[in-house]
Chain A
Amino acid sequence: MSEWRLGIDIGGTFTDVIAVSPDGTNRRSAKVPSKPAEPVRAIVEAIAAVDLNWSDVGEIVHGTTIVTNDIVEQHFRPCALIATSGFADSIEIGRTSRRVLYRLDVTPKVAPLVPSDLRFEVEERLLADGSVLTELSDAEIDRVIAEIKATGVDTVAVCLLHAFQNPAHEIKLGEKLSEHFANVSLSHEISPEIREFERMSTTVLNAMMMGKIRAHLNRIDETKAENSLVHLMHSASGMATPDLIAERPLMLAMSGPAAGALATTEMARALGIQNALTFDMGGTTTDVCLIVNGRAEIAANRELGGQRIRLPMVAVDSIGAGGGSIARLVSGALEVGPRSAGATPGPACYGKGGTLPTVSDADIALGYLNPTRTLGGSVPLQPQLADKAIGALAAEMGFETRQAAVGITRVVHATMARALRRATVERGLDIRSFDLVAFGGAGPMHAVEVARICGIKTIVVPMFSSGFSALGCVDAAMSYSRQFTVNMKSKTWDQSRLDALLREETETLSRALVAAGHAAETLRVTHTAGIRYSGQSYETPIHDPAFDDLEALGAQFDAAHKAVYGYSTGETWELMTVRTEVSGPERELNNAEVPGGATTPAPVGHREVTFETGESANTPVYDRDALVVGEVLTGPLIVEDTWSTVVVPPRDTIRRDATGNLHIVVELDQ
Chain B
Amino acid sequence: MKDTAVQLDPVSLEVIRNALTAVAEEMSSVVMRAARSPLLREAGDHSSALTDAEGYLVAQGRDVPVHLGVLSFTVREFLNKVGRDALRPGDVWILNLPDVGGNHLPDVKLIRPIFHEGDLYAFSISLAHWADVGGAMPGSYYAAAFDCWQEGLRIPPVRLVAGDEIDEEKMGLILANVRGPAERRGDILAQISATTVAGRRLEELRLQYGVAFLKAAFEAIHDRAERQMREAIATIPDGVYEGEDFMDDDGHGGAPVAIRVKVTISGETASFDFTGTDNAVPGALNTTPFIAAAGVFYVMKALYGPDIQPSAGCYRPLSVVTRPGSILDPRSNVPVVGGNHETCQRVADAIFRALVPVAAEKLSAGGPTTAGLLIFSARNDEGDYSTFYEVHGGGEGARIDRDGMAVTRVHLANVMSTPVEVIETEYPLMVERQALRHGSGGKGAHVGGDGLHRVYRMLADNISLTTMFERAVVPAYGLEGGENGAPFEVHLQTKEGTQTKLPGKHNVTINRDDRVTVMSCGGGGYGLATD
By a beta-carbon cutoff of 8 Å, the part of chain A in contact with chain B is 86-90, 92-98, 101-105, 107-109, 127-128, 161-162, 194-198, 329-336, 397, 399, 406-407, 410-411, 414-415, 417-418, 421-422, 425-426, 428, 487, 535-538, 564-567, 569, 571, 669-670
Return chain A residues, CB-CB under 8 Å to B391: 96
Contact of B303 among A104, A333, A670 (CB under 8 A): A104
Roughly how many angstroms separate A101 CA and B310 CA in the complex, as a whole number? 13
Residues A97 and B416 in contact, CB atoms below 8 Å apart: yes
Roughly how many angstroms separate A397 CA and B393 CA in the complex, as a whole number? 46
Q: List 20 A-B contacts (CB under 8 A).
A: A86-B434, A86-B435, A87-B434, A90-B434, A93-B406, A96-B393, A97-B414, A98-B414, A104-B362, A128-B425, A195-B419, A333-B10, A335-B14, A399-B9, A406-B11, A407-B9, A421-B25, A564-B33, A567-B34, A670-B207
Residues B421 and A104 in contact, CB atoms below 8 Å apart: no
Residues B10 and A194 in contact, CB atoms below 8 Å apart: no
Residues B301 and A418 in contact, CB atoms below 8 Å apart: no
Residues 407-424 of chain B, each 1 if its beta carbon lies under 8 Å from chain A, else 0: 111100011110111101
Stretch at the interface among B35-43, B81-89, B118-126, B134-142: B35-43
Residues A93 and B452 in contact, CB atoms below 8 Å apart: yes
Shortest Cβ distance from B435 into A: residue: A89
Return chain A residues, CB-CB under 8 Å to B189: 567
Roughly how many angstroms separate A407 CA and B383 CA in the complex, as a whole number? 61
Return chain B residues, CB-CB under 8 Å to A410: 11, 15
Return chain B residues, CB-CB under 8 Å to A334: 10-11, 13-14
Residues B406 and A414 in contact, CB atoms below 8 Å apart: no
Residues A535 and B433 in contact, CB atoms below 8 Å apart: no
Residues A330 and B424 in contact, CB atoms below 8 Å apart: no
Give the Cβ gap from A203 to chain B, nearest Cβ, in Å: 14
Contacts beyond the supplied A96-B452, A128-B424, A422-B26: 11 A-B pairs with Cβ under 8 Å:
A87-B435, A88-B435, A93-B436, A98-B414, A109-B405, A127-B430, A128-B425, A197-B419, A329-B10, A334-B11, A407-B10
Return chain B residues, CB-CB under 8 Å to A128: 421, 424-425
- B19 interfacial by beta-carbon distance below 8 Å: yes
Return chain B residues, CB-CB under 8 Å to A97: 393, 408-409, 414-417
Roughly how many angstroms separate A566 CA and B10 CA in the complex, as a whole number? 38
- B399 interfacial by beta-carbon distance below 8 Å: yes
Give the Cβ gap from B384 to chain A, nearest Cβ, in Å: 10
Shortest Cβ distance from B414 into A: residue: A97
Shortest Cβ distance from A487 into B: residue: B425
- Dominant SS among interface residues on chain A: loop
Residues A161 and B18 in contact, CB atoms below 8 Å apart: no
Residues A418 and B402 in contact, CB atoms below 8 Å apart: no
Residues 427-456 of chain B, each 1 if its beta carbon lies under 8 Å from chain A, else 0: 000101111100000000000000010000
Shortest Cβ distance from B223 into A: residue: A332
Residues A104 and B302 in contact, CB atoms below 8 Å apart: yes
Q: A87-B433, A567-B34 are in contact. Are A102 and B301 (CB under 8 A)?
A: yes
By a beta-carbon cutoff of 8 Å, the part of chain B in contact with chain A is 9-11, 13-15, 17-19, 21-22, 25-26, 29-30, 32-34, 36, 38, 41-42, 63, 65, 182-183, 186, 189, 193, 207-208, 220, 223-224, 227-228, 231, 298, 301-303, 306-307, 362-364, 391, 393, 396, 399, 401-402, 405-410, 414-417, 419-422, 424-425, 430, 432-436, 452
> Which 3 A-B pairs rank lowest in CB-CB distance, beginning with the nearest?
A407-B11, A96-B393, A86-B433
Roughly how many angstroms separate A414 CA and B22 CA in the complex, as a whole number? 10
Residues B22 and A417 in contact, CB atoms below 8 Å apart: yes
Residues B433 and A411 in contact, CB atoms below 8 Å apart: no
- Dominant SS among interface residues on chain B: helix
Residues B25 and A418 in contact, CB atoms below 8 Å apart: yes
Return chain B residues, CB-CB under 8 Å to A92: 406-407, 436
Roughly how many angstroms separate A92 CA and B407 CA in the complex, as a whole number? 8
Residues B417 and A96 in contact, CB atoms below 8 Å apart: yes
Residues B228 and A331 in contact, CB atoms below 8 Å apart: yes
Q: A194-B421, A414-B19 are in contact. Are A96 and B11 (CB under 8 A)?
A: no
Roughly how many angstroms separate A536 CA and B10 CA in the complex, as a whole number? 44
Contact of A101 among B10, B65, B407 (CB under 8 A): B65
Roughly how many angstroms separate A107 CA and B406 CA in the complex, as a whole number? 10
Give the Cβ gap from B196 to chain A, nearest Cβ, in Å: 11
Contact of B421 among A89, A195, A538 (CB under 8 A): A195
Contact of B15 among A88, A197, A332, A411 (CB under 8 A): A411
Return chain A residues, CB-CB under 8 Å to B420: 87, 90, 161, 196
Q: A97-B409, A567-B186 are in contact. Are A333 and B13 (CB under 8 A)?
A: yes
Return chain B residues, CB-CB under 8 Å to A195: 419, 421-422
Residues B409 and A108 in contact, CB atoms below 8 Å apart: yes
Return chain B residues, CB-CB under 8 Å to A333: 10, 13-14, 17, 224
Roughly how many angstroms separate A102 CA and B19 CA in the complex, as a whole number? 23
Return chain B residues, CB-CB under 8 Å to A87: 420, 433-435
Return chain B residues, CB-CB under 8 Å to A88: 435
Contact of A422 among B14, B29, B396, B436 (CB under 8 A): B29
Roughly how many angstroms separate A538 CA and B364 CA in the complex, as a whole number? 35
Residues A95 and B417 in contact, CB atoms below 8 Å apart: yes
Return chain A residues, CB-CB under 8 Å to B433: 86-87
Roughly how many angstroms separate A103 CA and B304 CA in the complex, as a whole number? 10
Shortest Cβ distance from A108 into B: residue: B408
Return chain B residues, CB-CB under 8 Å to A669: 208
Roughly how many angstroms separate A197 CA and B32 CA in the complex, as a whole number? 23
Give the Cβ gap from B473 to chain A, nearest Cβ, in Å: 23
Roughly how many angstroms separate A426 CA and B15 CA in the complex, as a whole number? 21
A198, A333, A421, A669 pick with most chain B CB within 10 angstroms:
A333
Roughly how many angstroms separate A330 CA and B228 CA in the complex, as a whole number? 9
Contact of B408 among A96, A428, A567 (CB under 8 A): A96
Give the Cβ gap from B215 to chain A, nearest Cβ, in Å: 18
Roughly how many angstroms separate A37 CA and B417 CA in the complex, as a whole number? 40
Q: A98-B414, A418-B25, A421-B22 are in contact. Are A196 and B419 (CB under 8 A)?
A: yes
Residues B419 and A332 in contact, CB atoms below 8 Å apart: no
Shortest Cβ distance from B226 into A: residue: A331
Return chain A residues, CB-CB under 8 Å to B25: 418, 421-422, 425
Roughly how many angstroms separate A336 CA and B26 CA in the complex, as a whole number? 22
Roughly how many angstroms separate A90 CA and B406 CA in the complex, as a whole number? 11
Residues B41 and A417 in contact, CB atoms below 8 Å apart: no
Roughly how many angstroms separate A537 CA and B389 CA in the complex, as a whole number? 14
Contact of B11 among A86, A161, A196, A411 (CB under 8 A): A411
Shortest Cβ distance from B362 into A: residue: A104
Give the Cβ gap from B442 to chain A, nearest Cβ, in Å: 17
Residues A89 and B436 in contact, CB atoms below 8 Å apart: yes
Residues A537 and B15 in contact, CB atoms below 8 Å apart: no
Give the Cβ gap from B510 to chain A, nearest Cβ, in Å: 20
Roughly how many angstroms separate A195 CA and B416 CA in the complex, as a whole number? 13
Return chain B residues, CB-CB under 8 Å to A107: 402, 405
Residues A565 and B34 in contact, CB atoms below 8 Å apart: yes
Return chain A residues, CB-CB under 8 Å to B34: 565-567
Roughly how many angstroms separate A88 CA and B430 CA in the complex, as a whole number? 17
Give the Cβ gap from B166 to chain A, nearest Cβ, in Å: 13
Return chain B residues, CB-CB under 8 Å to A417: 18, 22
Residues A95 and B364 in contact, CB atoms below 8 Å apart: no
Return chain A residues, CB-CB under 8 Å to B207: 670
Roughly how many angstroms separate A195 CA and B421 CA in the complex, as a whole number? 6
Shortest Cβ distance from B22 into A: residue: A418
Give the Cβ gap from A366 to chain B, nearest Cβ, in Å: 14
Residues B227 and A332 in contact, CB atoms below 8 Å apart: yes
A406, A565, A569 pick with most chain B CB within 10 angstroms:
A565
Return chain A residues, CB-CB under 8 Å to B435: 86-89
Contact of B302 among A102, A194, A330, A536 (CB under 8 A): A102
Roughly how many angstroms separate A158 CA and B77 CA in the complex, as a whole number? 55
Return chain A residues, CB-CB under 8 Å to B410: 98, 108
Return chain B residues, CB-CB under 8 Å to A101: 63, 65, 414
Residues B26 and A425 in contact, CB atoms below 8 Å apart: yes
Roughly how many angstroms separate A87 CA and B306 CA in the complex, as a whole number? 36
B38, B302, B406, B430 pick with most chain A CB within 10 angstroms:
B406
B14, B303, B425 pick with most chain A CB within 10 angstroms:
B14
Shortest Cβ distance from A404 into B: residue: B11
